Amino acid sequence: MWVSVDLCVVPIGVGVSLSPYIAACERVIAATGLMHQLGPNGTAIEGPWDEVMDCVRACHAELHGMGAPRLYTTLKLNTRTDRQQSFSEKVASVEQQLAGPLPKG
């Protein structure tokens, strides 16, 4: 099954600056070869379900390995059975609507 997720992993107990941990997680994600896009509050990742979930687990393992005693993670998932739709297609669809005329009603 194809899945698109928004992943936000927050290390707890490591101080105020989280960017070293976010960068480490981004390196893990990049190494998987999955399509991904860093955002201001998380990372969008898409691909086959098992590969994406393995990626999430690998991020947890990496950050715990860096000494983070606790991780708080939010994960939003989106699946479709009628077609495989990338997150860039979803964004383009909304941008197309924004460029067009306002709906009546």
pLDDT band at 92 (very low <50, low <70, confident <90, very high): confident
pLDDT band at 84 (very low <50, low <70, confident <90, very high): confident
pLDDT value of position 100: 80
Tell me the whole-structure pTM to 2 decimals.
0.86
Q: Strands across the sheet with 35-39, in order?
A: 35-39, 42-48, 2-12, 70-79
Tell me the HSE value of 39 on the side-chain side, using a 13 A CA sphere: 12
Residue 45 CB contacts under 8 Å (≥ 6 apart), including other chains: 4, 5, 7, 29, 34, 35, 36, 52, 55
> For the domain 2-99, what is the CATH code?
3.30.70.930
Mean pLDDT rounded to a whole number for the chain: 93
pLDDT digits (tens, 9 = 90+) for 52-76: 999 999 999 999 999 999 999 999 9
| Structure token digits, residue 91 | 């964004």
pLDDT value of position 6: 97
- Cα–Cα distance, 32 to 52 (Å, whole number): 9
